[in-house]
Amino acid sequence: MGLVEESIKPHERLSEHLADDLAAVNVLIRERMASKHAPRIPQVTAHLVEAGGKRLRPMLTLAAARLCNYDGPYHVHLAATVEFIHTATLLHDDVVDESGQRRGRPTANLLWDNKSSVLVGDYLFSRSFQLMVETGSLKVLDILANASATIAEGEVLQLTAAQDLATTEDIYMQVVRGKTAALFSAATKVGGVIANAPEAQVAALSTYGDALGISFQIVDDLLDYWGSGATGKNVGDDFRERKLTLPVIKAVAKANEEEHAFWVRAIEKGAQGGGDLDHALVLLKKHNAMEETRIEALSWAAKAKDALCVLPDAPIRHMLTDIADYVVERVN
């Protein structure tokens, strides 16, 4: 950074703008994750909920509601709902992937056990369900029920697509919609719905969340090869877990016979040796797969920004625009 002070990031600016709302969300989260009968629950969740996540998803809900001039109390419930669903998904992912690190800390799975991760995840889902029922909005419940189904379907699809070199970009996009974009999109949409915003604005918020989530996930998958201290992930985690993400799908599509044999061995058969990650990186570069992936992320970020034009021209809208830019700027 040298002598130039690093500028404040767009999600940090939004966080400051929504500081009071976010404080209320944090109070509600702590209150609702408590359990009178089962003290293990807050022990497991505190680890995740307090771990300094950026609270990006709940912020999107608060921002959407405020941008549509909501002045009731339920955007806070919905923001907490969204964070609980996200945390529950992480807990269930931890069981699933046997991944060793999440947000730079050991996963709940290693600190506790599979049982706790599954059941505490279920508990958070049920608490999120209670929170959304409290809003009394059937429209909100419908959106979140559909998002939940898309998320779960995407997770199962990812499971069956894993280690399968026949995975296409279409299947990858369905997985990304499920694992990331569905919750981003629901998060922004329910903010508009609870504010009783006009239909065109609600649709725009939904499109923004969807496109932002897709861009976010593509970049996340790219950084797994590109490298970044920002994610707390190690370069090559996805390679070692034999996940078919966009950079690899693009490189596989252009592989010659010898390269294809390499991918079959490393990804499908999982017979990985010492220099394999480096060789994978050489192939990704050779076929321009990382740059093409970055361009795809950029186009989704552009789509997210375009959607915002029907929303009120207020500071929050500009922050949402900047967040869409920042998501891809993480690649540097």
Residues at the site binding a copy of itself, with contacts judged by CB under 8 A: 35, 37-41, 92, 95-96, 114-116, 118-120, 122-123, 125-127, 129-130, 133, 136, 138, 141-142, 144-146, 148-149, 151-157, 159-160, 174
- The span from the CA of 127 to the CA of 28, in Å, is 11
CB of 134 to a copy of itself, least distance (A): 9
CB of 131 to a copy of itself, least distance (A): 9
Contact yes or no for 11/59 (Cβ under 8 A): yes
3-class DSSP assignment, residue 300: helix
Structure letter (DSSP) for residue 105:
E
Residue nearer to a copy of itself on the CB measure, 18 or 33: 33
Residue nearer to a copy of itself on the CB measure, 38 or 282: 38
CB of 43 to a copy of itself, least distance (A): 10
CB of 144 to a copy of itself, least distance (A): 8
Query: Alpha helix (H) ranges present in the chain?
Result: 10-17, 19-33, 40-49, 56-67, 74-97, 108-111, 114-134, 138-161, 169-176, 182-194, 199-226, 237-240, 246-253, 257-263, 276-286, 289-307, 315-329
Residue nearer to a copy of itself on the CB measure, 125 or 262: 125
User: For helices 56-67 and 199-226, what crossing angle results, to 10°?
Assistant: 160
Residue nearer to a copy of itself on the CB measure, 14 or 151: 151
Residue nearer to a copy of itself on the CB measure, 12 or 142: 142
CB of 121 to a copy of itself, least distance (A): 8
CA distances from 221 to 86, 177, 260 (A): 18, 14, 21
CB of 53 to a copy of itself, least distance (A): 20
The phi-psi region of residue 93 (left if phi > 0; otherwise alpha if psi is between -120 and 50; otherwise beta) is alpha
Residue nearer to a copy of itself on the CB measure, 143 or 307: 143
Residue 102, both tokens: 């999440």
